[in-house]
Amino acid sequence: MKLLRKKDITSAARLALMRTLLPTSHRLENTVILTGLPRSGTTWLGEIVNTIPRSAMLFEPLHLRRVPEAKSAGFSWATLLESEAEHPEALEFIERILRGQFINEWIARDLKIKDCLGMKVLIVKFVRAQRILEWMVSNFPIRRPLYIIRHPCAVVASQVRLEWKTRIDHSAVMGEPVLRLFPHLTGFVEELETIEERLAAKWCLGNYYALSRSKPYNFELVTYEQLVTDGPAQLERIFTALGFPVPEQAISNFKSPSVTTHFGDPWSSGNPINNWTKILDKEQIKRILDVVESFGMNFYTEDLEPDYNRLYGDTSPILSTSGTTP
């Protein structure tokens, strides 16, 4: 019989206690979903939202290696579900997550025992929900989700720095379900050559489905850049969308230096929206932005901030669904 280490026993006891303390009848109306691609600022945004009194946050429940139950429910690393899709196993699994009825050590990694006591608001942070966000909103009476995006050059720079190049090959890009829905994008993907181009394509494909929906969106779109440069106004907008007053702690966190370090990105220093210009060379930047341009997602350019008018303006879709200019 394998002996359990003291650390394992402690972790198991902690998890069991949190499962006992979490409400058994949490209302979905008090669940907040936030999503964005990896390295886009989801951790920062999550910690901001987690300042809501009596809130608790769950961590990335669709990580297949850490949460095998997600795979058993039919999820892949890039599942795409349209709003009318019928998927009973996925529906049951996601409902358990959104009600706080399923946690493991991975999902509860940022959860504290005190957060479980009297919890009223459950925050679920995803980095793989962009393609199922519309489906979740259609199936569950949750609060308005938050969707954060960040400059593709910043995201790619962070991923390259963390050596994500070992995870992204050509097949990983070609296997994207978005390509089946939007076949006009396939030609761009087939021409990718460098790691920066493949990572840029993953950024485009990861955001494409949600941003191709008609406006007004059924989620609140947040940009990392505007959160950094116009924090107080963005806090007001975010918490208004969620239906809560801005917590005092959220305001004080923004006044702290941690906004550009711990909250923003582990490798951030100085101005967190221009660090990518110091990490990537001119050729890398050009290759990334050429891919972004080919996908029609050139609301991000060599400028540090996106074209906010295009992102937030009128009711026209940001992106084409057929290969024509929207």
pLDDT number for residue 306: 96
pLDDT tens digit sequence for 143-154? 999 999 999 999
**Under 8 Å CB-to-CB from 13, ≥6 apart: which residues?**
none
pLDDT tens digit sequence for 14-62? 999 999 999 988 999 999 999 999 989 999 999 999 999 999 999 999 9
Q: What region, left, alpha or beta, does residue 55 occupy, with left being phi > 0 and alpha being psi -120 to 50 degrees?
A: beta
> Per the omega criterion (within 30 degrees of 0), is the bond before 272 cis?
no
pLDDT tens digit sequence for 210-241? 999 988 899 999 999 999 999 999 999 999 99
**What residue spans define the domains of the chain?**
17-312
In the chain, alpha helices (H): 6-21, 42-49, 68-72, 88-98, 113-116, 133-139, 152-161, 170-174, 178-181, 186-190, 195-211, 224-229, 231-242, 248-254, 276-279, 282-294, 308-312
pLDDT number for residue 11: 84
Mean pLDDT of the chain: 87
pLDDT (mean) for 160-169:
65
The side-by-side arrangement of strands in the sheet containing 220-223 is 55-59, 121-126, 31-35, 146-149, 220-223
pLDDT (mean) for 118-142:
96
pLDDT (mean) for 123-152:
96
Please, is 113 exposed, middle or buried when counting C-beta atoms within 10 Å of its C-beta (0-12, 13-18, 19+)? exposed
- What count of residues does the chain have? 326
What fold characterizes domain 17-312?
Answer: Rossmann fold (3.40.50)
The CA distance from 123 to 43, in Å, is 12
